[in-house]
Amino acid sequence: MEANRKWLAIPEEFRKKLIANVNCMNCGDVVTITDFIIVDHPAGVMLDGKCKNCGNKVVRVVEE
Ligand SMILES: [Zn+2]
């Protein structure tokens, strides 16, 4: 809940950029994360989801 609130506090334009700039180890490229949840992370919050291209698990830490 707290993590979700932190995430939503980020301006929408910036959130869109974060969603579209996630490293996928499998693709070896920057991809869009999909089907993600927001979880707490020591540095801020973390997006935990799947690569839009290959379905591999990807995460993205968003520092506060
Ligand atoms: Zn991928």
64 residues of the chain, pLDDT tens digit each: 699 999 999 999 999 999 999 999 999 999 999 999 999 999 999 999 999 999 999 999 999 8
Whether this prediction's pTM lies above 0.85 is answered by: yes
Measuring CA to CA, which residue among 45, 49, 46, 11 is closest to residue 32? 49
Surface-to-core class of residue 45, CB atoms within 10 Å of its CB (0-12 exposed, 13-18 middle, 19+ buried): buried
How many Å apart are CA 59 and CA 29, to the nearest integer?
A: 13
Question: Hey, where are the domains in the chain?
Answer: 2-63
Q: Which residues surround ligand 1, an ion (CB under 5 A)?
A: 24, 26-27, 51, 53-54, 56
- 37 Cα–ligand 1 center, Å: 17
**CA trace torsion 60, 46, 20, 13 (10° rounding):** -140
